Amino acid sequence: MKNFVQKGIILNKKIKTLQIITLSEWYGQWSGPQQFCFDLAKNLNKNEFKVEVACKPGGILIEKLKEIGIKVHPINSFRRGISPINDFRTLISLYNLIKKEKYDIVHCHSTKAGILGRIAAKLAGIKKIYFTTHGWGFYNREEYGWLENFLVLLEKIAAECSTRIICVSENDKKEGLKRKIAKEDKFLVIKNGVEWEVKGSREEAREKLKVKNDGVVFGMVGRLAYQKNPLMFLKAAKEIIKKYPKTKFILIGGGLLFQECENFIKENKLRKNIFLLGEKSPEETHQLLLGFDVFVLTSKYEGLPFAIIEAIFAGLPIVATNVGGVSELIKDNKNGFLVNSNSIEELVQKMIYLIENPVKIKEMGEEGQKIAKENFTLDKMIKNYEELYSII
């Protein structure tokens, strides 16, 4: 808390912070950066910090923030893709907002908000400007691969405006240094954390999932989009079902590839074994996790995925592609397995190993819970950010 002297009396003033994120939801879904922004806004010490948020209007994040009394500033011109006119309007809108409200700290999230927000904050004279990567934008080769060098240049420019750049994984820091986005002393690693308090039981979750206890249940939670590569999960499931017909597969999430996933299940006559549940609320997803035996994530790139952290807290062993910061969550052969992101065969092999060794499912799940409780709690993450914010 800041101390100000007025007529010999020390007055305490809360540190006023603005969180800037591009979208309030990702194509109608709740995703990692939105969860992070919400958790930070909700859990920072209310006696020390006053938090406000700026983002594109409409979406789940705004609804949840309003429920807990957080002020939201809608930036109508925000666009996720490249849009020079709207991007300029956004820069001006953010500059005017920051200048008017006189924030002590501006903290940006996601690529577009990270670049425009930091530049606007610097122009407005803000002294403490932070950016959390959540995975660099240039990881997304489907959309930005051809613009990688341009994105790196923009990140370097924005880095000049930054007090610190926070990476959610050591891998993100390594990739930032590799591309010389900033010097090492400007980078800081604060890993994601979650609060895990879920009511319910395995039996209740299985009833909701409508699956019996006569086979292993593999589950995946994630946006049905290029990044998460859900077809890899479904193709692995197809191979496993041939040998283990009682095995079940749950896929939770919505997105641009939903119809393609549905068509794959239908064309291969897998409806009795694979259940495509669509988008679920965070609370419902957490309850359904209790009905899984093994959690799978087949991403092409990642920062430090909340989905895996939540699955570890739920006591599930993990089988995941070895991308981004995933290896910082999974100790291979301890609380799960890491597989090559291009190898369905390797994924199938590890999943079959767990089917044939049910004792390992329990052992790995318990080991994962220990790792999660020691390293990935929300309380630990929030304390790290409070310490960062309080540095004079």
Burial class (CB in 10 A: 0-12, 13-18, 19+), 159: buried
To the nearest whole number, what is the mean pLDDT of the chain? 92
Domain ranges of the chain: 2-193+377-390, 202-375
Q: What is the per-residue pLDDT across 299-318, written as a single tens digit (0 to 9) for each?
A: 999 999 999 999 999 999 99
Angle at 186 between CA 182 and CA 192, to 5 degrees: 105
* CATH number corresponding to 2-193+377-390: 3.40.50.2000
The two most distant CA atoms of the chain are separated, in Å, by: 80
- Residue with the two structure tokens 């995925």: 305
Q: How confident is the model at residue 12 (pLDDT cuts 50, 70, 90)?
A: low
The DSSP secondary-structure symbol of 317 reads -
pLDDT at position 103, please?
97
Query: What is the dihedral sign for C-alpha 339, 340, 341, 346?
Result: negative
Q: What is the per-residue pLDDT across 169-207, written as a single tens digit (0 to 9) for each?
A: 999 999 999 999 999 999 999 999 999 988 888 899 999
- Decide if domain 202-375 falls under CATH 3.30.2270.10: no
For the full predicted model, state whether its pTM sits above 0.85: yes
Torsion of CA 105, 156, 116, 78, to 10 degrees: -130
Q: What is the per-residue pLDDT across 42-72, written as a single tens digit (0 to 9) for each?
A: 999 999 999 999 999 988 999 999 999 999 9
Please, are residues 196 and 313 in contact by the beta-carbon 8 Å criterion?
A: yes
Q: How confident is the model at residue 287 (pLDDT cuts 50, 70, 90)?
A: very high
pLDDT at position 299, please?
96
**C-alpha to C-alpha distance for 127 and 241, rounded to whole angstroms:** 57
DSSP structure string for 147-210: GHHHHHHHHHHHHHT-SEEEESSHHHHHHHHHTTSS-GGGEEE----B-------HHHHHHHHT
Asked whether the predicted pLDDT for residue 333 surpasses 90, the reply is yes
